[in-house]
């Protein structure tokens, strides 16, 4: 599996006329090697060329960890003294093609630290974005990846079911978030969650990315809960909206509008389907109900090793939806000072249609 990914990437390098790609610590490095490193003050860089064995630059004390790689790697270990790091970068460059090279970088992970070390190693290196080739690889999930995401969905849904009983008048958003995190871990999520759960109540729910605070829940509050689990590195990302006690008439109408927008997008056939078509299907329902100005974000985004990745389900995005993609469908309506509603599901693109991986009830639940 990992070796196949390396081979595909090597062919893309040849096509794009990039000599080698330098992958910083993070999810793409894990995707290509099976090694999990976090960005830190010490660089860890996976180097992949057009052929031959990939290499890795890493701190000397991490030798045992590097032995766990799922592919063969040529190691370039550096000592603790930063003054000697550029020398190791130079040796790694020479291992591939010498000091003159076009190096592909991942724009969202590349840092000045690594770029400066490459420049100190050689004054003949140039840099180019390798975003598209990495997105192309990671966008299509294999069977193992799909199963991991299915399991992450299952864990997340179980954790919320266990959390719902504590949601009552007077409890704070913060307390609900804490309980949900504990339940996610107890239900089997990896310790590193995809993101901090969003618990947004009452007027706070009008903020799509609200952070759980000390607001106490009140009767009539609509409560947006956006949460997810991680399994073997792969994530789920789900949102459900509830009401505490009596439901406001307009907010109930908004809820049913969002629910219909969600259902409409999820029912689209895959043949000749573009990302912008999915976005338009959901957006048209909300526009027709008179709330178009209050649907302020895209309809969805890809999920995998990260909570936000390609494909992005957004206007003017002509990415074709193809078999193996997994992404969210999450329309929402947000009325300032009043409240908001979002319903988010995780879907898998089969050869013919969109299969919904999430099963948590979408009927407006009164708590």
Tell me how far apart the terminal alpha carbons of the chain are, to the nearest angstrom: 45
Residues 203 and 218 sit within 8 Å (Cβ to Cβ)? no
- Taking a C-beta distance cutoff of 8 angstroms, is the pair 25, 38 a contact? yes
The reported pLDDT for the residue numbered 16 is 85
> Residue ranges of the domains in the chain?
2-138, 140-366
| Backbone dihedral angles phi then psi of residue 41, each to the nearest 5 degrees | -70, -15
Nearby residues of 338 by Cβ (< 8 Å), 6 or more positions away:
203, 206, 250, 251
When the candidates are 1.20.1070.10, 3.90.230.10, 3.40.640.10, 3.30.930.10, the CATH number that belongs to 140-366 is 3.90.230.10
Per-residue pLDDT of 142-189, as tens digits, reads 999 999 999 999 999 999 999 999 999 999 999 999 999 999 999 999
Cα distance between residue 143 and residue 99, in whole Å: 40
pLDDT at residue 295 greater than cutoff 80:
yes
For residues 341 and 205, the answer to whether their CB atoms sit within 8 Å is yes
pLDDT at 17: 87
Q: Per-residue pLDDT averaged across 281-303, rounded?
A: 98
Given this model, what pLDDT does residue 112 score? Answer: 96
Examine the pLDDT at 281 and tell me if it is beyond 80: yes
The sign of the torsion formed by the CA atoms of 42, 46, 52, 53 equals positive
- The structure's pTM equals 0.93
Q: What is the rounded average pLDDT for all residues in the chain?
A: 96
- In this structure, CATH architecture of domain 2-138: 3-Layer(aba) Sandwich (3.40)
Summarize the confidence of residues 288-313 as an average pLDDT: 97
With cut-offs at 50, 70 and 90, classify the pLDDT of residue 50: confident
How far apart are the C-alpha atoms of 73 and 343, rounded to whole Å? 44
The token duo for 274 is: 């573009």
208-266 pLDDT, tens per residue?
A: 999 999 999 999 999 999 999 999 999 999 999 999 998 999 999 999 999 999 999 99
Distance CA 366, CA 206 (A): 19
Q: Which pair of structure tokens corresponds to residue 343? A: 């319903």
Between the CA of residue 244 and those of 37, 215, 227, 264, what are the distances in Å?
A: 42, 14, 19, 27
DSSP state of 211: P
Whether residue 139 is predicted with pLDDT greater than 90 in this model: the reply is: yes
Contact criterion met (CB below 8 Å) for 278 and 321: yes
Q: 343 near 330, Cβ under 8 Å?
A: yes
């Amino acid at each position: 599996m990992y070796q196949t990914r390396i081979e595909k990437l090597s062919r893309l390098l040849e096509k794009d006329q990039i000599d080698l790609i330098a992958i910083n610590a993070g999810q793409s490095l894990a995707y290509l090697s099976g090694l999990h490193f976090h960005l830190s003050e010490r660089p860890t860089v996976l180097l992949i060329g057009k052929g031959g064995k990939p290499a890795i630059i890493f701190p000397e004390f991490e030798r045992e960890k590097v032995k766990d790689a799922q592919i063969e790697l040529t190691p370039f270990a550096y000592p603790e003294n930063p003054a000697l790091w550029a020398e190791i970068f130079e040796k790694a460059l020479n291992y591939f093609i010498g000091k003159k090279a076009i190096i592909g970088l991942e724009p969202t992970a590349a840092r000045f630290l690594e770029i400066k070390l490459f420049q100190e190693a050689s004054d003949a290196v140039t840099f180019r974005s390798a975003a598209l080739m990495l997105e192309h690889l990671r966008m299509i999930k294999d069977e193992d990846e799909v199963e991991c995401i299915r399991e992450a969905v299952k864990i997340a849904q179980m954790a919320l079911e266990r959390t719902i009983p504590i949601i009552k008048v007077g409890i704070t958003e913060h307390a609900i978030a804490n309980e949900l995190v504990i339940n996610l871990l107890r239900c089997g999520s990896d310790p590193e969650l995809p993101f901090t759960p969003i618990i947004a109540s009452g007027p706070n729910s009008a903020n799509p990315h609200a952070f759980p605070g000390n607001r106490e829940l009140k009767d009539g509050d609509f409560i947006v809960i956006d949460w997810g689990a991680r399994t073997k590195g792969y994530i789920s990302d789900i949102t459900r909206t509830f009401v505490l006690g009596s439901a406001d008439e307009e907010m109930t109408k908004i809820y049913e509008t969002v629910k219909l927008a969600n259902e409409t997008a999820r029912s689209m056939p895959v043949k000749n389907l573009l990302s912008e078509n999915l976005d338009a299907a959901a957006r048209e329902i909300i526009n027709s109900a008179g709330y178009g100005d209050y649907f302020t974000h895209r309809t969805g985004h890809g999920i995998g090793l990260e909570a936000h990745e390609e494909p992005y389900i957004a206007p003017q995005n002509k990415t074709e939806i193809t078999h193996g993609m997994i992404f969210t469908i999450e329309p929402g309506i947000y009325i300032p000072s009043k409240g908001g509603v979002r319903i988010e599901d995780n879907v898998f693109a089969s050869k013919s249609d969109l299969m919904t991986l999430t099963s948590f009830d979408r009927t407006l639940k009164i708590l």
